[in-house]
Amino acid sequence: MSALVEVKNLKKYFETPGGMLHAVDDVSFSIETGTTMGVVGESGCGKSTLGRVIIHLLDSTAGKIYFEGEDVTAVDSKKLHKLRENMKIIFQDPFSSLNPRMTVEQTIMEPLIVSGRYSKKEMEEETERLMTMVGIDERLRLSYPHELDGGRRQRVGIGRALALNPKFIVCDEPVSALDVSIQAQVLNLLQDLQKQLGLTYMFVTHDLSVVRHISNDICVMYLGQLVETSPSKELFKHPLHPYTKALISAVPTTDIHHRKERIILEGEIVSPINPKPGCRFAARCGYVSEKCHEPQQLEEVLPKHFVSCCRARELNRL
Amino acid sequence: MTSNNDAFLSVRDLIVEYTSEGRVIHAVNGVSFELERGKTLGLVGETGAGKTSTAKAIMRILPDPPAKIRSGEIVLDGQDLLKIDEKEMRKIRGRKVSMIFQDPMTALNPIMKIGEQISEVIKMHNDITWREANQQAAKMLEKVGIPSDRFNEYPHQFSGGMKQRVVIAIALACSPELLIADEPTTALDVTIQAQVLDMINKLKKDFNTSMIMISHNLGVVAEVCDDIAVIYAGEIIEYGGKEAIFDHPTHPYTLGLFGAVPHLYDDVDRLSPIPGLPPDPTNLPAGCHFSPRCPHGQELCRIEKKGLVEIQPGHFSRCTRFADQGR
Amino acid sequence: MLNATAPESSPPKIKKQGEFIVVARRLSKNPMAVISFFVTVFLVLIAIFAPLIAPYPYDKQDLMHTRAAPSAQHLFGTDELGRDVFSRVIWGSRFSLSIGILAVLLGTVVGLFLGAIAGYFGGLADDIIMRIMDVLQSIPGILLAITISVVLGPGFFNTLLALSIGGIAMGCRLTRASILNIRTQEYLEAATSINASTPRIIIRHVLPNSFSPLLVSSTMSIGNVIMAAAMLSFIGLGIQPPTPEWGSMIAGGRNLIRTSPWMVTFPGIFIMLTVLALNLFGDGLRDALDPKLKK
């Protein structure tokens, strides 16, 4: 299996009145075909921006993006067209991701209409097929978004994303806004579709339990920086970066008989605007040293397990 | 449930309805529970289950119209809150009972200094000068981990987590005996949530506050609560101590909730979601409200309404099918 | 896999009707909206069939029966030149309504266009357009209309122009605000991600979701424009006699209000009725168009 999507030293900066906002700062990883890469972090870590840059909804500031081995960082509009058919996105908010004035059928059909390649009959049949595939009842064909619940709206969004048989889908917190029992339905659907269609996902979320369940590999981000990446189970067995450890320990557990040692982070989050060089977690880290204020390197500390921390080996006795 | 006269808060057969466009929404359908002093009760359920309506009914802040408390008793420290007038209730709100809402962004007045928002509440319930109120407010800020020299700053200068701390400071400023927290950490990042939950636990001990914690997050509930009530379609369908509910859940809905959530240290291939959707509150199913979605539903379930049965001392459930089994 | 053949672009008609029917159904549940709708329709019908309804031509003078009280021959009496007030009020509806609707239409369309550019593209275009609107809005509407009327002179088309300019700023701001509001909506990003072209995004996604505040405010400003037209006529600008505009009729009769009140009362009642009906209908329309309000 080779990497379907790869990013190298990807950067995305925004100009703001207060200065340059480093939303995504020097991120590198690759995603194997047919797998799910979980990208986890808290608000402001840049994970959503990262997803949008990869599928070209936003322009990158620096770095490279590869799709199927080809450099697609800067593409002309014809190539962009083709690329967009292969890379899709599912959004977090089931309320704002659907046009309130378009029916279920119109929303799912639109990508087919825009492609200009299908007859009316073909589009109607394909829309029906997609609706069945994502589990939307035929009788809801002419319904409007406000008539549907969050779970069904998300299914419409998924149907729309699948319309032209994409290879890669960025799932931007697709279940965060849903009720617990509906979350499970949608997560199962995404897993089934992946098996059925051989899809590759980049699954962005702040929920560690969800990311562990659905990902093959995980990237942990903090304020635009990639701090750790490894296969999913390995990350939870041996978290190496102090932030990852704090993050995992912060998740409230339903295991009431094993009170775990909670790492409580002190201090405030630094601003991503005109940040100082070095690790951005340093201000809250219990193990900060002089070297932490220099730019950190992503190193393979354990097999397939990369960390961006100068003290990683030392703190984990490796 | 047997009546416990030591209970600090006793809610009995609470019924809340909303009328909209001629239809009646049965939001709360006969909810009963008790809370002892210094203990924390978790109210667990999904959107529309009736948790917030119950909480607002206790605070008597339900908008009337369209909401109406049809019947029931809410006895706080021996006084039935549903039988007193608004003037009396105003003395109790903020002082004896306090509420924290879900969204810290909208709970604070954006054009008022945060310190003053705390002192305002203190001054309202105590016959003291503004200067004294401000001093107490500054102390409250320190208690929630905010340096008191930030007294004169405005909400927009604070992050989400800090705003929520200010909200908590306002709620605890008059040392209420009962605190109702409606999803207080849902809008916060995980690491901030950990800080805030930790702080709530410490403050609870310091003030010996009783608390009702509303959440859909089983983990949060496990961290903070002593007893748990699982609510579905406006009814409590299972109720008991933390160990009872987490170790021996018996109601199919509770079991469904546990099965539908991915756990950090449990590996499953596929989640087991609860099929279907929550019922339409204007048209609740006959018999057991959960029966249409229940994988173990039988004919009788659709006809007969089950009451809460005490399957173990202190552990009540509306479904006895799995009464003998563990998780 | 699908075979590529000739594509079709427009969705079947059934869906368009669907939305219209939903709005119509909602409107029908609101008694005020229904009443005001029928009153408006009634007034429009009067305007259209004026030649058939009015018993006399509006400029026919009868100097033998000036300032006559309402009677069987003259339902609303006659004015100072013996003209039938009833006929003049009926004909007046044609002029007042058409000036109201046309001025608002003109102002709205221009405003919509400018607002769409300012809102969607932002940047320099937005700055320039909004500064022009600032200037336009800094002058009170009626003063602006008066000034332009003075410059252009009285008459139907000049008055139309004068009254429409005031509406441009409002249309522009409303459209722009709507667009800024939905710019953060993810379905616009979704449309980009599925390769929709910018014109398609604007026509299919942006405009349909931003025109409803505009529709509501336009409906309600028709009333304002009719009032403004009446005011202009009242002060000697706008539409002048013998053209029967309600405002100029009131102007003509104001000195005779104690002796011949019918000359002022009837046109006044019709102005009031029209403005009230349009405003109430606009209210109902706003409630009916907002799907979230009802949910």
Taking alpha carbons only, the member of C58, C125, C46, C112 closest to residue C88 is: C58
CB contact under 8 A, B46 and A183: no
A182: nearest CA partner in chain B: B273
Q: Is omega for the bond preceding B184 within 30 degrees of 0, making it cis?
A: no
CB contact under 8 A, A160 and C4: no
Query: What is the three-class DSSP state of A174?
Result: coil
Higher pLDDT, C7 or C109: C109
Chain C residues within 8 A of A97 when measuring between CB atoms: 185-187, 190
Tokens of B327: 């998780």
CB A209 within 8 A of CB A31: no
Query: Which among C7, C15, C185 has the least Cβ separation from residue A142?
Result: C15
pLDDT in the model for residue C74: 84
Measured CA to CA, the distance from residue B256 to residue B272 in angstroms comes to 7
Mean pLDDT for the stretch of residues C95-105: 89
Measured CA to CA, the distance from residue A45 to residue A205 in angstroms comes to 11
CB contact under 8 A, B277 and A268: no
- Pairing mode, if any, of strands A62-67 and A70-71? antiparallel
CB contact under 8 A, A253 and B46: no
Distance from CA of A114 to the nearest CA of C (A): 6
Going from the C-alpha of C63 to that of each of B119, C66, C67, C78, C88, the distances in angstroms are 80, 6, 9, 10, 16
What is the span of the domain harbouring residue A186? 3-238
Measured CA to CA, the distance from residue C145 to residue C115 in angstroms comes to 21
CB C47 within 8 A of CB C93: yes
Residues 6+ apart with CB under 8 A from A211: A38, A40, A203, A205, A218, A232
pLDDT in the model for residue C294: 42
The CATH number that applies at residue A42 is 3.40.50.300
CB contact under 8 A, B273 and A262: no
Measured CA to CA, the distance from residue A275 to residue A279 in angstroms comes to 10
CB contact under 8 A, C196 and A118: no
Measured CA to CA, the distance from residue A266 to residue B110 in angstroms comes to 26
In this structure, CATH architecture of domain C23-294: Orthogonal Bundle (1.10)
The residues of chain B scoring below 70 in pLDDT are: 1-6, 324-327
CB A296 within 8 A of CB B228: no
* Interchain contact A59–C (C-beta under 8 A): no
Report CA A308 to chain centroid distance, whole Å. 19
Residues 6+ apart with CB under 8 A from B74: B9, B10, B11, B12, B14, B57, B58, B80, B81, B82
Taking alpha carbons only, the member of A117, A7, A110, A118 closest to residue A52 is: A7
Query: What is the three-class DSSP state of A149?
Result: coil
* Interchain contact A98–C (C-beta under 8 A): yes
Query: What is the three-class DSSP state of A48?
Result: helix
* Interchain contact A111–C (C-beta under 8 A): yes
CB A271 within 8 A of CB A217: no
Mean pLDDT for the stretch of residues C108-132: 89
C9: nearest CA partner in chain A: A113
Q: Is omega for the bond preceding B66 within 30 degrees of 0, making it cis?
A: yes
Distance from CA of A236 to the nearest CA of B (A): 8
pLDDT in the model for residue C19: 62
Tell me the residue type at C293: L
A42: nearest CA partner in chain B: B189
> Is the per-residue pLDDT at C4 higher than 60?
no
CB contact under 8 A, A106 and C11: yes
Confidence of residue C3 (pLDDT cuts 50, 70, 90): very low
Residue C184: how many other CB atoms lie within 10 Å: 9
3-state secondary structure chain B: CCCCCCCCEEEEEEEEEEEECCEEEEEEEEEEEEECCCCEEEEECCCCCCHHHHHHHHHCCCCCCCEEEEEEEEEECCEECCCCCHHHHHHHECCCEEEECCCHHHHCCCCCCHHHHHHHHHHHHCCCCHHHHHHHHHHHHHHCCCCHHHCCCCHHHCCHHHHHHHHHHHHHCCCCCEEEEECCCCCCCHHHHHHHHHHHHHHHHHHCCEEEEEECCHHHHHHHCCEEEEEECCEEEEEEEHHHHHHCCCCHHHHHHHHHCCCCCCCCCCCCCCCCCCCCCCCCCCCCCCHHHCCCCCHHHHHCCCCCEEEECCEEECCCCCCCCCC
Chain A residues within 8 A of B260 when measuring between CB atoms: 180-181, 183-184
Chain A residues within 8 A of B160 when measuring between CB atoms: 43
Measured CA to CA, the distance from residue B273 to residue A180 in angstroms comes to 8
Going from the C-alpha of A124 to that of each of A109, A118, C18, C240, the distances in angstroms are 8, 10, 18, 59
Query: Which among A89, A101, A113 has the least Cβ separation from residue C9?
Result: A113
pLDDT in the model for residue B75: 92
For C30-68, the pLDDT digits (tens) are 888 889 989 989 999 999 998 888 888 888 888 888 888
Which residues, in sequence order, are bridge partners of residue B325?
none
- How many A×B Cβ pairs under 8 Å? 112
State the chains in contact with B (3 or more Cβ–Cβ pairs under 8 Å): A
- Pairing mode, if any, of strands A305-307 and A299-302? antiparallel
pLDDT in the model for residue C7: 31
CB contact under 8 A, C15 and A103: yes
Chain A residues within 8 A of C208 when measuring between CB atoms: 99, 101
Residue A49: how many other CB atoms lie within 10 Å: 20
Range scoring the smallest mean pLDDT among A39-43, A165-169, C192-196, C250-254: C250-254
CB contact under 8 A, B264 and A253: yes
Tokens of C98: 């058409």
CB contact under 8 A, A184 and B265: no
Residue in C10, C182, C186 to test binding to A, most A beta-carbons within 10 Å: C186
DSSP labels for C201-239? IIIIIIHHHHHHHHHHHHHHHHHHHHHHHHHHHHTT-SS
Chain A residues within 8 A of C19 when measuring between CB atoms: 101, 144
Residue A26 is assigned to a structural domain of this protein: yes
pLDDT in the model for residue C16: 45
Distance from CA of B289 to the nearest CA of A (A): 16
Residues 6+ apart with CB under 8 A from A317: none
C194: nearest CA partner in chain A: A111
- Return per-residue pLDDT of chain A as tens, 318 residues: 579 999 999 999 998 888 899 999 999 999 999 999 999 998 888 898 999 999 999 999 999 999 999 999 998 989 999 999 999 999 988 888 999 889 999 999 999 999 988 999 999 999 999 999 999 999 999 999 988 988 999 999 999 999 999 999 999 999 988 888 889 999 999 999 999 999 999 999 988 999 999 999 999 999 999 999 999 999 999 999 999 999 999 898 888 887 777 887 777 678 888 888 899 998 888 898 999 999 998 999 999 999 999 999 988 888
**Residue C216 burial (10 A CB sphere; 0-12, 13-18, 19+):** buried
Chain B residues within 8 A of A250 when measuring between CB atoms: 190-191, 193-194
Chain A residues within 8 A of B267 when measuring between CB atoms: 233
Distance from CA of B270 to the nearest CA of A (A): 6
In chain C, % of residues over pLDDT 70: 92
**In the Cβ-directed half-sphere of A288, how many Cα atoms lie within 13 Å?**
14
Taking alpha carbons only, the member of A7, A3, A5, A10 closest to residue A168 is: A5
Chain B residues within 8 A of A236 when measuring between CB atoms: 264-265
Handedness of CA C111, C113, C116, C117 (dihedral sign): negative
The mean of the pLDDT values for chain C is 82
Residue in A193, A194, A211, A254 to test binding to B, most B beta-carbons within 10 Å: A254
Measured CA to CA, the distance from residue C88 to residue B53 in angstroms comes to 60
CB B140 within 8 A of CB B169: yes
Chain A residues within 8 A of C193 when measuring between CB atoms: 55, 57, 84, 88-89
* Rounded to 5°, angle at Cα B57 from B179 and B171: 25
Q: Is omega for the bond preceding C242 within 30 degrees of 0, making it cis?
A: yes
Residue A300 is assigned to a structural domain of this protein: no
Per the listing, tokens 């962009």 go with: A80
Taking alpha carbons only, the member of A236, A238, A263 closest to residue A249 is: A263
* Interchain contact B265–A (C-beta under 8 A): yes
* Interchain contact B183–A (C-beta under 8 A): no
For A104-121, the pLDDT digits (tens) are 999 999 999 999 889 999
* Interchain contact C127–A (C-beta under 8 A): no
State the chains in contact with C (3 or more Cβ–Cβ pairs under 8 Å): A
For B245-264, the pLDDT digits (tens) are 999 999 999 999 988 888 87
Residue B300: how many other CB atoms lie within 10 Å: 11
* Interchain contact B47–A (C-beta under 8 A): yes
Measured CA to CA, the distance from residue B9 to residue B210 in angstroms comes to 9
* Interchain contact C11–A (C-beta under 8 A): yes
Residue B295: how many other CB atoms lie within 10 Å: 10
**In chain C, what are the domain boundaries?**
23-294
C197: nearest CA partner in chain A: A114
CB contact under 8 A, A97 and C295: no
Residue A274 is assigned to a structural domain of this protein: no
The CATH homologous superfamily for domain B9-310 is P-loop containing nucleotide triphosphate hydrolases (3.40.50.300)
Residue B150: how many other CB atoms lie within 10 Å: 16
CB contact under 8 A, C15 and A99: no
A164: nearest CA partner in chain C: C194
A169: nearest CA partner in chain C: C193
**Residue A38 burial (10 A CB sphere; 0-12, 13-18, 19+):** buried
| Phi, psi values for residue B28, rounded to 5° | -125, 125
CB contact under 8 A, B260 and A208: no
Residue A292 is assigned to a structural domain of this protein: no
